Amino acid sequence: MSFRIPFLVLVFVFWGPVCGGPLTNPHPNMSDQELFWGTDQYDFSVVLPAGGLECFWHFAHRGERFYLSFMVQWVTGVGHDRHLSVNVNAPGGLLVSTVDDAKGQINFQAEETGFYQMCFSNFHNHFGTMQVFLSFGVYYDGYQDPAKRQEEEKKKKEEASKDLNNTLSFIEDATHKVENHVFHMFRYYNFGRMRKSVDAFLLQSNSRYITHWSIALSLLIVTSGYLQLLFLKRLFITQSGAEEEKPRC
């Protein structure tokens, strides 16, 4: 009896990790394109130093739509330039698109699955820092392989011949269209918000510029007036005690 208890304990100890361990690969027969198709988006601001370079990476499946919107909000320094150099590279290293402007949009369909690189360079300004607002992401626009698309079209024709009143498919298509329209409206809203923020920064910069120059000119006018008055008073100085001497002026 003393030998059975340790044997059972060993059986349960070794049986637990084998049968109750974590499942590391829940879908071994599914590719990455079959696991998830959806929408992903980010928007934030980044500060680029003088002559600086910042790069970001974003994952996209083959067939998804990749978009990038950027706008320079403010620039500091002497002889500053608002132009920003933007490059987008594919996962294989191929240059997909490039823009050199203060604001712009990049939109293309991903031909490779992987991480797309976005690089922002401030090489135009060697002594100035700039803040850039970014908005980028991916969205699915119904991409499918040609063979799979033909099979689905064939199935749809067979289903349409059997049932002409399939309202669920129409509701699904309409919902997908509305979702795409709302998503694009949100993109345009972000771009409009970036434009408003740029105008606000420009107004603040002009206000500070006018205030500083007004103070400087006021001090200059007061100082010059005081110096003129002091010079005129020195012209009319008389010496007491000598009756024969007359004023200097």
Residue boundaries of the structural domains of the chain: 32-202
Q: How many C-beta neighbours within 10 Å does residue 162 have?
A: 8
Tokens of residue 71, six digits: 């706008």
Query: What's the confidence (pLDDT) of residue 242?
Result: 54
Query: What's the confidence (pLDDT) of residue 56?
Result: 94
| pTM summary value | 0.50
Q: How far apart are CA 213 and CA 211, in angstroms?
A: 6
Lowest mean pLDDT among 103-107, 130-134, 143-147, 153-157: 143-147
* Whole-Å CA distances, 192 to 12, 58, 188: 64, 23, 6
Q: Look at residues 134, 93, 87, 140 and name the one whose alpha carbon lies nearest to residue 112.
A: 93
**Average pLDDT, stretch 105-120?**
92
Query: What's the confidence (pLDDT) of residue 82?
Result: 86
20 burial (CB, 10 Å; 0-12 / 13-18 / 19+) is exposed
Q: Where are the beta strands (DSSP E) in 102-208?
A: 103-109, 114-121, 130-139
Query: What's the confidence (pLDDT) of residue 86?
Result: 95
Lowest mean pLDDT among 33-47, 48-62, 82-96, 170-184: 33-47
Between 194 and 91, whose confidence is greater?
Answer: 91
Question: For a pLDDT cut of 90, what percent of the chain falls above it?
Answer: 30
Query: What's the confidence (pLDDT) of residue 27?
Result: 41
Between 86 and 30, whose confidence is greater?
Answer: 86
Using the predicted structure, report yes or no on whether residue 28 has a pLDDT greater than 60: no
In this structure, which topology does domain 32-202 adopt according to CATH?
Jelly Rolls (2.60.120)
Query: What's the confidence (pLDDT) of residue 100?
Result: 92
Q: How far apart are CA 225 and CA 236, in angstroms?
A: 17
Indicate the DSSP class of residue 241: T
